[in-house]
Amino acid sequence: MNAISLFLMSTFLTLRKKHPKFIYKKYDWTISDQGLEISFDFLLEPDIIFRPNILIEKVSREQTEKIGDESLNNLIFNLGLIEMASYWKAACSPEIVIEAGTLSLRQRKWWEWLILNGLGQFFYENKIDFTKPGLFKITSPKNSEGDAIKNAGTFPNQDDKTMLPIGGGKDSAVTLEIFKRSGKKMVCFALNPSKDSRAVMAAAGCDNFIAVKRTIDKKLLKLNRQGYLNGHTPFSAYLAFLTTLTAALFDCRYIAVSNERSSNEATLDYLGKKINHQWSKTFSFEERFQTYSKKYLNKGILYFSFLRPFYELQIAKIFSGFKKYFNSFLSCNEAYKIYSGQKTPAGQWCCNCSKCLFAFIILYPFLGKEKMTGIFGQDLFANADLLETVKELTGEKPSKPLECVGERKESLAAFYLSLIKAKEGSEKKMPVLLEYFERKIMPKHKNLARQAKKILSSWNKKNSLPEEFEKILLRKKA
């Protein structure tokens, strides 16, 4: 074990001893002039209190009365359960105590499953052995040993309307544009809406969207700077609970997220377990969440991924036909990172991360150099600093980047198609990354042309699209 691993282990054990319990104390909500204001109280024993806040804008008391206080309380309580993961991870307390509400035995097991799997990357980053029994247990004075406390509500007056979460990337832009052209009733949703998500919605003419503001307790960021544990949490799982609550308030029957089949592939192996940066985007999570939601949240609302049948490469091809979004979308996570409050989000392509490069290689075959440099500001294939990232994306290294990137075979196909596209141009010399791919990587893979064609015409039957939505998406299949 190296010095870094020993230090991380020592920190982990020290924090657990110092903070033996993490308590979800309570939640509160009120209707104000701004909308539905929610706060959660978490206690990291003995004396650290966290109070994160959420504001769902333009919610009236009439909307909350329609679904009833009991059902609303249940949805908010469950939202707090996923919110607490971001705060529990600071010290990984051995016991999580739920005082804010009631959980059945089956629910406790479900949440243990979510935390263990959803924080897989966090455990890897902090060199925590999460495979041994006893990492944590969930208890509550209000626990029931039965299978269920109560069934989920089914709210009346739900419209046949679909909520579309918009993040500002190309995938949600594709979902939005297809829905817009289909004529189906829809409403856009944006969490902490960024300049890019607003621009994407504006380009689609979606001006009247549902906005939610989530405020992280600054105390957590301060603790991170002081050496408390930090790392990746399952954001898409958080979004699933938040959008279910919001859909209930705004009479939406469906929640159509934009997760693709590529997210199902694991990123790396750690302690004999598969770690997936995109775990809460996978079809496995989607199915398990649907089951949980129908039993404990709301029987009448369906959360599903509209783009699940497609690879990222297929989505990029569709996106290439939506020119009006080229100057609006942004698919770079570095653009939004604040590094525990020590950095202001750049809000633009960094052009030096794996997600930027992956977005570049899957769009290049359909847009070409001129349009791609117009979007990114430079030709990423000419950036020699990205050579190691090329190796990670294409399987030359055992682990993929810990980012939202596609499958290895997909990256290989995208590089191949990009090389063909570049050769159609007038350049006398291939840029460094394409030259390396042609010389060092492509000779190891003899059927890339066939593989690319297969990927571009693929349809993944492991999806949960209702039939009416499946028919809409099938029209976009190559």
Q: Are residues 285 and 202 in the same domain?
A: yes
- The answer on 223 and 177 residing in a single domain is yes
How many domains does the chain fold into?
2
Q: Would you say residue 37 lies in a domain?
A: yes
Handedness of CA 178, 184, 189, 193 (dihedral sign): positive
Domain presence at residue 148: no
296 and 350 housed in the same domain: no
The answer to whether residues 300 and 346 belong to one domain is no
Peptide bond into 20 cis (omega under 30): no
347 in the same domain as 295: no
Residue 72 domain-assigned (yes or no): yes
> Would you give the distance in Å from CA 206 to the centre of its chain?
22
Same domain, 118 and 228: yes
Residues 101 and 198 placed together within one structural domain of the fold: yes
Distance in angstroms (rounded) separating the CA atoms of residues 112 and 119:
11
d(CA 57, CA 66): 17
Are residues 233 and 115 part of one domain? yes
Q: Are residues 23 and 168 in the same domain?
A: yes
Q: Are residues 260 and 117 in the same domain?
A: yes
pLDDT of residue 149: 46
In a domain, 319, yes or no: no
* 435 part of a folded domain: yes
My answer on whether 296 and 347 are in the same domain is no
pLDDT in tens, the chain (478 residues): 678 788 888 999 999 999 999 999 999 999 999 999 999 999 999 999 999 999 999 999 999 999 999 999 999 999 999 999 999 999 999 999 999 999 999 999 999 999 999 999 999 999 999 999 999 999 988 765 554 445 566 665 567 899 999 998 999 999 999 999 999 999 999 999 999 999 999 999 998 999 999 999 999 999 999 999 999 999 999 999 999 999 999 999 999 999 999 999 999 999 999 999 999 999 999 999 999 999 999 999 999 999 999 999 999 999 999 999 998 999 888 767 666 555 666 678 999 999 999 999 999 999 999 999 999 999 999 999 999 999 999 999 999 999 999 999 999 999 999 999 999 987 778 999 999 999 999 999 999 999 999 999 999 999 999 999 999 999 987 6
| CB-based contact 442:395 (threshold 8 Å) | no
In this structure, is residue 468 part of a structural domain?
A: no
Domain of 390? Answer: 331-458
- 9 and 65, same structural domain? yes
- Number of CB atoms found within 10 A of residue 386's CB: 22
Q: What is the pLDDT of residue 158?
A: 65
pLDDT at 340 (0 to 100): 56
Q: Is 317 contained in some domain? A: no
Query: What pLDDT shows up at residue 168?
Result: 87
Residue 466 lies in a domain: no
- Is 309:473 a contact under the CB 8 Å cutoff? yes
Give me the pLDDT at residue 31, please: 97
Q: Is residue 103 a contact partner of residue 143, using CB atoms and an 8 Å limit?
A: yes
pLDDT at position 1 is 63
